[in-house]
Amino acid sequence: MPELRKDPIIGRWVIISTERGKRPSEFDSPRPVLRQGFCPFCPGNESKTPPEILAYRDGGGGADSPDWRVRVVPNKYPALKIEGELNREGDGVFDKMNGIGAHEVIIETPDHLASLSSLSSKNFEEVLWAYRDRIVDLKRDSRLRYVLIFKNHGEAAGATLEHSHSQLIAMPIIPKRVSEELDGALEYYNFKERCIFCDIIRQETMQGVRVVAENQDFLAVTPYAPKSPFETWILPKNHGASFENCQKTHYENLALIFPDVLKRMDKVLNSPPYNFILHTSPVQNGAEKYYHWHFEIMPKLAKVAGFEWGSGFYINPTPPEEAARFLKEANP
């Protein structure tokens, strides 16, 4: 059983995952991304993954049959497990609990060679609906407090399989990084009675120097103080704390701007590895007035080294205004 352990000094929780345990020799080099041969995510290999949780099909096929368009399965080596009780307990000055949660894989396309940026807007929209449907379902579990959706694209970004996929981890605590963002947004709201993200959207729209792309419902910008080169945020223009509460037209327009941004990065940065993360409100957090959901996309262009780990500061060699200009001028 995995464990969640709390750092008593800064309050950060760490997952000690026995399911993903490694011996010292296994840390010598990363596992290679599978580029040929057997792929458990390809159609016809459904029996090689755990039984599916969700799939979108054209009809006629049963569960775990190969006629799917998007498929969600439990991670074969989960960081957290859905079965069991939390069993919170103290260990002297320390706190821990069982590693209860969910760890799922969203297989975004049956095409082994397709990338997320190459999907049609309709296919991309279905990936977004899969995110939404899984969040809605997991929110019913009273043990869970946050659902994190993220993507590792490319070996340097942490992907271990080439077939395009993203992941979901639902957990019984709110991560420290999320709590810090929530606290900052609440402090701003208490001071000004406005959402800081809404104010950022208004200012970025007026100034235009960090705008990468926009449509009726979304704005893509390079943030004012990015952690890494070419970091880009996609924010809904209309205020909303929870991704899963969007209207259908919002998912449609998000499925237009999101791949557009990825294609611009592919062109400007020669198809870089990247991570993206969905920032959305925790389960039953009451953040509707002051929080604003969004996606953050971070190309893997610079390494986090000793200074960053030791100080919490990030060194970014590319001003966001210059990054936005390159991305905006690209013709995807």
52 CB-near residues (< 8 Å, 6+ apart): 46, 63, 64, 68, 71, 72, 73
Residue 310 Cα distances to 178, 188, 225, 305, angstroms: 20, 28, 19, 9
- Does residue 302 sit in helix, strand or coil? coil
Other Cβ atoms within 10 Å of 266 Cβ, number = 19
Other Cβ atoms within 10 Å of 274 Cβ, number = 27
What is Dmax (Cα atoms) for the chain?
59
Residue identified by tokens 């104010």 is 199
The Cα 54–Cα 45 span in angstroms is 16
First to last CA, the chain: 46
Considering the candidates 103, 153, 163, 165, report the single residue annotated as catalytic: 165
Asked about 165 being catalytic, the answer comes back as yes
| DSSP of 10-29 | T--EEEE-GGG---GGGGSS
Kindly list the catalytic residues.
Answer: 165
